[in-house]
């Protein structure tokens, strides 16, 4: 008789899918031990280092997988495994030596790991507000047209109250062409003089607002409404990739005309207020940017002190740590914040012999 196995996979996410956790850079410690066989200390040290690196990686991200199998005789067997899924970007040995008959190594490693628990509520990334065009249908005139244009300025002020980002109003710059961060696009004179390019460390928001007339015919009346739609693209300035398309809509009731009667007695001029539209945009931005890493740029250097482009407004506090964007095992450097103002922070490198040039990209560590 052929055996039939029923495999019950323990995946609760199949019923309640959750968004993937954001991966952030973290510093962890790993400890490794290995017995010394005879005088083979070099081999023991190598095994201890491998164990320490594995321990550090497991602290960053581990996945537990389990399954149950039920055979035809009704016997249930269970299997469970743990897989280390993290990749280390660099490490440094902080303790290395013989402990009795074992070799012990402790490393401090840097790598990407999933956030544990809620994101930092005080961390606020930089958001450059770029060109937002307005297209209004010809039938929308007078105060309604003016209110839509004025509503954009008020909406930018409303967005400035977002809890996960700091707004820099750069709407006077040309529309995004995708190459501003490389200084390759044709920018206007004001842009070149002010140097107001999108911050390499932050994000950019651009798009259009479209206002149209929506008419509906009923048995005895015609109702007119104004339909306002906002389409925005959220870009990561570091790589130019669009990370979110935000589209929100608002319907503003307009005039009502009863057939066969004069319009004057039944005309209700619409009071256009698109503030609720930007409240929806703010909620969408908070959702997307809540767990994004806080990045900054080294904008100046004075001896052993570095000036970063983020400060108290971004949630940076003295005692925080930033990682210089690593390009190899020996290139990474950690900066400790010593002082901070509204939009700037003073940092000091803590690893000797690792130079940090101006314009280096740094990322806040948890």
Contact, 298 vs 307, CB < 8 A?
yes
Residue 69 contacts by C-beta under 8 Å, 6 or more apart in sequence? Answer: 5, 6, 7, 8, 76, 77, 78, 79
Domain ranges of the chain: 6-114, 125-289, 295-364
The predicted pLDDT at position 65 comes to 47
Q: Which residue has the higher pLDDT, 345 or 31?
A: 345
Q: How far apart are CA 88 and CA 361, in angstroms?
A: 19
| Average pLDDT of the chain, as a whole number | 75
- Was domain 125-289 assigned CATH 2.60.120? no
pLDDT tens digits along 304-319: 899 999 999 999 999 8
Strand pairing class (23-35; 221-236): unpaired
pLDDT tens digits along 45-98: 998 888 888 888 877 764 444 455 666 666 655 443 444 556 677 777 888 988
> Measured between alpha carbons, how far is residue 124 from residues 5, 201, 311, 324 in Å?
51, 12, 10, 19
Contact, 229 vs 249, CB < 8 A?
yes
The predicted pLDDT at position 314 comes to 93
What is the arithmetic mean of pLDDT over 233-248?
90
Q: How far apart are CA 75 and CA 95, in angstroms?
A: 49
Q: Does the CA dihedral 116-117-120-126 come out positive or negative?
A: positive
What's the pLDDT band for 11 if we cut at 50, 70, 90? very low
Strand pairing class (102-114; 88-99): antiparallel
Instruction: Evaluate if residue 112 carries a pLDDT over 80.
Output: no
- 86: its two tokens: 């993290």
List the helix and strand counts (H, then E) for the chain: 4, 17
The full DSSP string for 254-265 is: EEEEETTS-GGG
Q: How far apart are the first and last CA of the chain?
A: 57
Q: How far apart are CA 327 and CA 111, in angstroms?
A: 13
Q: How far apart are CA 321 and CA 350, in angstroms?
A: 10
What percentage of the chain carries pLDDT values higher than 70?
Answer: 67
The predicted pLDDT at position 60 comes to 75
Under DSSP, the state recorded for 202 is: S
What's the pLDDT band for 345 if we cut at 50, 70, 90? very high
Q: Which CATH superfamily, name and number, covers 295-364?
A: Rod shape-determining protein MreC, domain 1 (2.40.10.340)
Under DSSP, the state recorded for 15 is: T
Would the pTM of this model clear 0.85, i.e. be above it?
no
Instruction: Evaluate if residue 42 carries a pLDDT over 80.
Output: yes
Residue 289 contacts by C-beta under 8 Å, 6 or more apart in sequence? Answer: 125, 127, 164, 165, 203
pLDDT tens digits along 266-286: 344 567 888 889 999 999 999
CA atoms in the 13 A half-sphere facing the CB of 125: 31
User: How many CB atoms within 10 Å of residue 58?
Assistant: 17
The predicted pLDDT at position 14 comes to 33
């Amino acid at each position: 008789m052929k055996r039939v196995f029923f495999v019950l996979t323990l995946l609760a996410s199949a019923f309640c899918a959750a968004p993937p956790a954001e991966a952030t850079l973290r510093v962890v410690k790993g400890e490794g031990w290995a017995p010394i066989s005879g005088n083979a200390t070099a081999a023991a040290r190598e095994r201890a280092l491998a164990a320490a690196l594995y321990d550090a990686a497991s602290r960053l991200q581990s996945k537990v997988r389990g399954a149950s199998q039920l055979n035809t005789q009704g016997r249930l067997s269970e299997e469970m495994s743990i897989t280390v899924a993290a990749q280390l970007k660099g490490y440094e040995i902080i303790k290395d030596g013989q402990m009795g008959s074992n070799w012990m190594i402790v490393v401090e490693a840097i790598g990407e790991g999933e956030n544990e628990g809620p994101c930092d509520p005080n961390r606020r990334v930089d958001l450059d507000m770029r060109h937002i065009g307005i297209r209004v249908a010809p039938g929308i005139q007078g105060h309604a047209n003016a209110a839509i244009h004025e509503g954009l300025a008020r909406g930018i002020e409303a967005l400035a109250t977002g809890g996960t980002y700091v707004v820099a109003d750069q709407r006077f710059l040309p529309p995004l062409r995708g190459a501003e961060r490389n200084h390759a696009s044709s920018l206007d004179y004001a842009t070149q003089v002010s140097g107001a390019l999108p911050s390499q460390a932050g994000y950019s928001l651009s798009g259009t607002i479209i206002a149209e007339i929506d008419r509906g015919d009923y048995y005895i009346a015609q109702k007119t409404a104004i339909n306002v739609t906002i389409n925005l693209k959220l870009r990561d300035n570091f790589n130019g990739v669009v990370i979110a398309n935000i589209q929100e809509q608002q319907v503003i009731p307009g005039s009502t005309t009863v057939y066969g009667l004069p319009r004057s007695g039944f005309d209700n001029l619409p009071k256009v207020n698109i503030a609720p539209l930007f409240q929806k945009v703010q909620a969408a931005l908070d959702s997307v940017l809540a767990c994004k890493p806080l990045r900054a740029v080294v904008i100046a250097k004075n001896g052993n002190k570095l000036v970063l482009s983020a400060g108290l407004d971004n949630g940076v506090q003295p005692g925080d740590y930033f990682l210089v964007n690593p390009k190899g095992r020996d290139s990474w450097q950690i900066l400790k914040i010593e002082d901070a103002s509204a939009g700037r922070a003073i940092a000091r490198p803590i690893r000797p012999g690792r130079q940090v040039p101006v314009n280096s990209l740094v990322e806040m560590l948890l």
